[in-house]
A and B are shown apart, each in its own frame.
Chain A
Amino acid sequence: AQSVTQLDSQVPVFEEAPVELRCNYSSSVSVYLFWYVQYPNQGLQLLLKYLSGSTLVKGINGFEAEFNKSQTSFHLRKPSVHISDTAEYFCAVSESGGGGADGLTFGKGTHLIIQP
């Protein structure tokens, strides 16, 4: 069984400062990794994904993440945040062996709060 730990439930950051949201996973098999963003009362929007290849993954809205297999981590970063980045961010994992079509395991989320 796999699991995902998002180490911070809440991260306050000043506008235009850099941010890192941490995600660690555990799995006994190869995995696919994802970051999603959720605005209040809405569905989830895909920010970026790691399926294979380069360990540095670039996504939408200036976000990027780095897959570190030895540390089983997939931290999300942005060099300069904006007020509009205030949202809930979820890290998720699926086992790649089943083609990734057997559902995602999610972390509990990190609430990113941008302060002016």
Chain B
Amino acid sequence: DGGITQSPKYLFRKEGQNVTLSCEQNLNHDAMYWYRQDPGQGLRLIYYSQIVNDFQKGDIAEGYSVSREKKESFPLTVTSAQKNPTAFYLCASSIVGGAQYFGPGTRLTVL
């Protein structure tokens, strides 16, 4: 079965901690993306990557970091510099010029 997986489904973070959200795809897509969703805000782009070992900042990259060492994987780290990290995080992938397909999401809560 081809698709996008995100783990964990729920994640809890203490103040001052870094946490890493996993995103894996087996669709052979070149491009991958991270979005943040807050109630009533729609989705906002954090980072995206069009090719391995390269990525670009989106609209709200401050306090986040990513890596793209493999085509299938695009992990997102939420650092302690992110002041309001509680949100629903969605990963997506696409071929260049195609529609984006989304994973099931990770809900991050700061305790």
Contacts and interface: CB of A to CB of B under 8 A. Distances in A.
- Dominant SS among interface residues on chain B: strand
A49 B31 CA distance: 18
Given A41-B107, A43-B90, A43-B103, A100 B42 contact: no
Contacts of B73: none
B78 to A, nearest CB: 18
A44 B90 contact: yes
Interface string B12-39: 0000000000000000001101010000
The 8 closest A-B pairs by CB, nearest first: A43-B102, A99-B96, A106-B42, A103-B45, A108-B42, A101-B31, A44-B102, A106-B43
19 contacts: A41-B107, A42-B104, A43-B104, A45-B102, A90-B43, A96-B97, A99-B97, A100-B96, A100-B98, A101-B50, A103-B33, A104-B35, A104-B100, A106-B35, A106-B42, A106-B43, A107-B42, A108-B42, A109-B40
